[in-house]
A and B are shown apart, each in its own frame.
Chain A
Amino acid sequence: MSAARGTPTHCPYCALQCAITISLPATPAGEPLIAPRDFPVNRGGLCQKGWTSAELLRAPDRLTTPLLREETGTRPATWDEALGRVVATITRLRREHGPDSVAVFGSGALTNEKAYLLGKFARVALRTSQVDYNGRFCMSSAAAAGNRAFGIDRGLPFPVTDLGRAGLVVLAGANPAETMPPLMGHLTGPGTRLIVIDPRRTPTAVAALSGGGLHLQPAPGTDLALALGLLHVARTSGYLDTPARATYRRQRTAGWEQAWQRAAAWWPERAERVTGVAVADMRAAVQLLHAAPGAYILTGRGAEQHTKGTDTASAWINLALAFGLPGTAGHGYGCLTGQGNGQGGREHGQKADQLPGYRSIADPAARAHIARAWGIPEADIPGPGRSATELLEAIGTEGGPKALLVFGANLAVSAPRARHVTGKLRQLELLVVADSVPSETARLADVALPVAQWAEESGTMTSLEGRILRRRRALSPPDGVWTDLEVLSALATRLGRDRAEFPADPDAVLAELRAASRGGLADYSGADTARLDDEVPLYWPVPAGSDGTPRLFGRRFAHPDGRARFVAVDHRDAAELPDREFPLFATTGRVLQHYQSGAQTRRVPELHRAQPEAFVEVHPDTARRAGLADGGRATVISRRGTVAARVRCVATMRCDTVFLPFHFPGDGSANALTNPALDPVSRMPEFKVCAVRLEPA
């Protein structure tokens, strides 16, 4: 490989954002080469998805021309024609039904610049309140819990490398051995033990056990009771009475008494009955937390994607606060952000209730600041809109959206009750999907717009540790393909906005984002392109003139009084429990080879060969009782839909639980089963538990 032509950048997939170099072939027929770089998070490592990521650029069914749906089917069109149809329909709908009849759906895969410009496009060019994004399905519970505990939401408020010095890491509902393998290098050093909380014996759980740690295997939907039981044991074992912890609680927190009062009613034997986790294991876990030299608690989607996901994350934060972890050197709490820009994507205004810089759209001062930055009257900024699931559900109802513009999301596969959502999308008068490949959602579009991919454009991403990273352009997009920013710029211009308000150049957008975020919680004003290009480690908040903030909370938390908040939370059942008709819990998750809806990874031959089809993991006895054998075909049935899946018998599964990965489309789509019931705070759907039964296919 010729180093001269290598472009240093970052992997297109998850929030770990492993550093890589992409090298272009000397000849047009050659393949781009990927090599990992030595960088703090991946230290020269890469998983199979990263190694093969150049294949995405060569996807054989790459979209290279806009497609318009006609009564007879779809046909290629020019950009002028496509954008013309979009603008004409939007204009008509806005005139007939008002601005909220047009909605926008964004993504945690978008760069900071795109996320920012998309939110601005919605509020300024469309004047709609109806904008939200797929992070609602991903990070919203952790974000809500982090905000109410700490007054700020940065997934990891410390660099990933801090974890390498930990004596103990608790992973509540996270499976990084499959979802972000290079992270495991920071968690499995000789001095680190893991406690993994997961209904399945995942590779991460196996790593915990082989390193002398624990695997607690609760029934799906009972993590909150487990966290309460652990807090109860910690308190009644006297572990929270050490002078350091008592002082921390007194000086740095508020709300302990109310939170403890709820946990007081969760004596460990009660928690055991609900969760299935043995009291002895709870005591062992708490003993490890008590004695560890350096302890971290990290949550993942397994704890968060529930109708009580926010409260569950709060319960884990309460435990961390009780042990004095957040903001204490060498200790901490964090959540593992999933999507590539799941962190930055939730900061700059593509959320229904948010403005850039992690500002609240309901806060008059925040509105005034952003109105000045955008050069519009404050009154012109719409109020909060519907959250993702509610937005989709409102389609086809009185006052609901009639047009939807989707950027970087594959809702037909990733949304809960996915087949119902597909039906909703079909009811739209106009569905616009910007994507690089004909994803399941793009195939439903009235107008599909071919857009550039990761290595074909530049921008910034904010990784799971809150570090702002430069993603560089290594090659040109294929002919006919535009960038998302070019699309937004062109649409805004056609809708009558000044081109200068909607620049298509990423650096120009970053400059605007920096100014808009200035003074906000997620202040990027000091993240200039020169320092990003030099790979200076910049962790937000990075106010102009500062070197950023690798570690938050050292002296104070972000609430006005500087204290962290315990939040009084109590356990409640999942929205749907097994019964006679649907006797099993189903939980969903990921496999190593695929990313999210699989729209990208299913197009990479090496990954597709490794995991070609939907499967269901099931205990061998449960399979046998359902008349199924390992390797056979099963139908998994919930109240909302059915899935066809290959049977994988796994002896370590709980007898009452099956697992399905959600990366597959069509009749293998696990989200055909999932329950769209929402968390009342975060509006997160209940992806991680629903009731199903198994039948032979």
Chain B
Amino acid sequence: MTRRHCVIIGNGMVGARFAQEARRHDPAARALDITIVGAEHRPAYNRVLLPNLLSGAMRDEDLILGDPGWYASHHVRLRTGTPAIRVDVAAHAVWTGTGDAIGYDHLVLATGARARVPAIPGIAAVVPEAAAGVTALRTIGDARRLANLAVTARRKHGRIAVLGGGVLGIEAARALTARGTAVTVLHRGGHPMARQLDAPAGRALATAIRATGIDLRLAVEAVRWEPGRGLWVRPAGSPGAEPGAEPGAELVRADGLLVSAGTIPETGLAAAAGLRLAPSAAIAIEDALTTSDPDVYAIGDCAGHPGAAGGLVQPGWEQAAVLASRLTGAEPRARYRGSARVTRLKAAGIDLTCVGDAFPDVADPDFEVLRFEDAGRYAKLVLQDDRVAGATMLGFPDAAAGIVQLYDRDVPVPSDRLALLLGRALPAEAGGTRAPAALPDHAIVCRCNMVTKAQLRDAWHEGATSRPALCAATRAATGCGGCGGDVDAFADWLSNTDPVKPAKEAILR
């Protein structure tokens, strides 16, 4: 295989992962010569954990993915601070903002997504941070800006408004409150995380969010951001209201605004290069991860594959792994068939897991639906052919972890459905069965020495009428010692029910 030059546009979690996976298969760069161009000035970092910068749990440098020396030691040219400004697929070249062109054999687009910004007065539609007191949360720079706004808010006993109650909005709001910042989350729909949850689950989540001290307002839409005062809102879908019109609007006082109203795939380069876009507005890709140009690939949030949900890192990482196998020749026929849809909310005090499709028509006899709901918890588990088709688990930390594994591995679920919901096998019997009277003769009292109830009783009858004597005669409790209390109980029980005169000292010698 002749060595090919692979250019990656985008040094984010997915672009960097592709480079790492490629070097895992091709450590000596025999198959692929790799260049990464990224607009940001720092090496790839972990966007998933940006809320941790708000809570103070992590610092900027904690988010850096991999050893900064990795690129050079693995023959990967990394050009940070180098935005790609144009792709010429005919010439197989990428033009950069620093004025040069890079030729490629393979081009990997990993340009990610940007924040979707509602078009309302006071917020710049494309670059929210251009507006005073407003930011998205996509970059370390955004997180810094938001953290500063939060500091101001705390100092003034004010608050931060969060526009959009999706996963990012809730995680960011929770991270802010963890550090003592008052937060109001404003959400257009009737319940938060509408992409993942049905209405009853959403109501339960709303309760859980409010229980952490977040002020959550549902079914409201933003009208205008007024720097220094706050966000004007009104009931969502107010009749006849135009964007920007303010009849009946109410001011939510806030010192800063986080826009977390979803993302838009970053497809500018691809569209300008004439690559086909999917109906989702992402770059259309095949299972081979090729775009409409056979030498151009797209992975991560910029790519539109029917089996990949946006906004999660896992599909992008899986696509990176498949593409690396293909382009290094490790597995030229590898295909990406979609990712398991698992959303795990990272918000302290709110244990929420959403798996697959939790909304099938409950009347459909193909589906078995388990539900549980009480004041603090909500579970809905949808099974098909004994396998997990979907699940929403709020406040079931043990069960959720196991259910995700069953879903990921496509393993049949236990027939004990209650145990499945509880996340653990139920004890076979109620407690207290170690009581000597209740045990059958063959019951093993001392596991280390396989001593049964019958052996203890026989030893008693032969004159071993104390715990030390029983232990000496049968070896019970001489291993791990864990059954010492049980042997005591036996001695008590036998001395009450079977008072035998100590016959001989034979055992005690």
* A interface residues, Cβ below 8 angstroms from B: 36, 44-48, 51, 176-177, 181-185, 188, 201, 203, 207, 219, 235-238, 258, 260-261, 264-265, 267, 269, 272-273, 276-281, 568, 578, 583, 592-593, 610, 619-621, 624-625, 651-652, 655-656
Contact = CB atoms under 8 A, between A and B. Distances in A.
Given A264-B62, A273-B408, A656-B409, A278 B480 contact: no
A624 B414 CA distance: 11
B478 A264 contact: no
Interface in B33-64: 46, 48-49, 52, 57-58, 62-64
B62 A583 contact: no
A280 B351 contact: yes
B400 interface: yes
Given A273-B342, A620-B415, 19 more contacts: A45-B479, A45-B480, A48-B449, A177-B482, A181-B448, A184-B480, A188-B482, A235-B58, A236-B57, A261-B64, A264-B49, A272-B344, A273-B344, A276-B405, A278-B400, A281-B397, A281-B401, A568-B67, A652-B425
B406 interface: yes
A237 B401 CA distance: 21
Contacts of A176: 480
A280 B67 contact: no
Contacts of A592: 447-448
A610 B448 CA distance: 11
B411 A182 contact: no
A184 B478 CA distance: 11
Contacts of B402: 276
Nearest to A257: B61
B482 A184 contact: yes
When A and B form their complex, which 5 residue pairs have the shortest distance between CB atoms, in order from nearest?
A184-B480, A181-B479, A280-B397, A236-B57, A181-B480
Given A278-B398, A568-B67, A185 B481 contact: yes
B67 A182 contact: no
A440 B93 CA distance: 66
Most B CB within 10 A of own CB, among A176, A267, A652: A267
Contacts of B346: 267, 269
A621 B415 contact: yes
Contacts of A655: 406, 411-414
B450 interface: yes
**Chain B interface helix/strand/loop/mixed:** loop
B404 interface: yes
Interface in B240-295: none
B49 A47 contact: no
Contacts of A46: 475, 478-479
A281 B399 CA distance: 12
A277 B58 CA distance: 23
Contacts of A656: 405-406, 409, 411
B189 to A, nearest CB: 24
A625 B412 contact: yes
Interface string B440-468: 00000001111000000000000000000
Given A276-B402, A279-B351, A568-B67, A578 B409 contact: yes
A181 to B, nearest CB: 4
Contacts of A188: 480-482
Nearest to B398: A278
Most B CB within 10 A of own CB, among A236, A278, A610: A278
24 contacts: A44-B478, A45-B480, A46-B478, A47-B478, A47-B479, A51-B449, A181-B479, A185-B481, A219-B405, A260-B62, A261-B67, A264-B58, A264-B64, A272-B404, A273-B408, A276-B405, A278-B400, A278-B423, A279-B401, A280-B351, A578-B409, A592-B447, A619-B414, A652-B425
B428 interface: yes
A612 to B, nearest CB: 13
Most A CB within 10 A of own CB, among B346, B412, B447, B480: B480
Contacts of B400: 278
Nearest to B446: A48
Interface string B326-349: 000000000000000010101000
Interface of B: 46, 48-49, 52, 57-58, 62-67, 342, 344, 346, 351, 397-398, 400-402, 404-406, 408-409, 411-416, 423, 425, 428, 447-450, 475, 478-482
A48 B411 contact: no
Nearest to A568: B67
Nearest to A45: B478
A48 B62 contact: no
Contacts of B67: 258, 261, 568
Nearest to B413: A655
Nearest to B314: A273
Nearest to A187: B480
Nearest to A656: B411
Given A278-B423, A621-B414, A656-B409, A47 B397 contact: no
B370 to A, nearest CB: 16
A277 B344 CA distance: 14
B479 A182 contact: yes
A47 B447 CA distance: 9
A539 B447 CA distance: 32
A625 B346 CA distance: 36
B57 A48 contact: no
A182 B449 CA distance: 11
B317 to A, nearest CB: 10
B481 A45 contact: yes
Nearest to A585: B409
A278 B411 contact: no
Given A46-B478, A188-B481, A260-B62, A621 B351 contact: no
Given A44-B478, A264-B46, A583-B411, A236 B58 contact: yes
B384 to A, nearest CB: 16
A36 B344 contact: no
B342 to A, nearest CB: 7
Given A265-B46, A272-B401, A238 B57 contact: yes
Contacts of A276: 401-402, 404-405
Contact of B49 (A181, A267, A624, A651): A267
Contacts of A181: 448, 479-480
A37 to B, nearest CB: 12
Nearest to A203: B447
A235 B408 CA distance: 28
Contacts of A651: 416, 425, 428
Most B CB within 10 A of own CB, among A203, A279, A593: A279
A281 B398 contact: yes
A185 B398 contact: no
A237 B57 contact: yes
Contacts of B481: 45, 182, 184-185, 188
A545 B275 CA distance: 80
Contact of A610 (B48, B411, B428, B450): B450
A279 B345 CA distance: 11
Contacts of B344: 269, 272-273
A656 B481 CA distance: 33
Nearest to B48: A267
B255 to A, nearest CB: 26
B432 to A, nearest CB: 13
A663 to B, nearest CB: 16
A278 B397 contact: yes
A269 B171 CA distance: 13
Nearest to B68: A261
B20 to A, nearest CB: 10
Contacts of A281: 397-398, 401
A177 B66 CA distance: 40
B448 A48 contact: yes
B447 A279 contact: no
A569 to B, nearest CB: 12
A565 to B, nearest CB: 16
B209 to A, nearest CB: 18
Contacts of B480: 45, 47, 176-177, 181-185, 188, 207
Nearest to A653: B425
B450 A48 contact: yes
Contacts of B450: 48, 593, 610
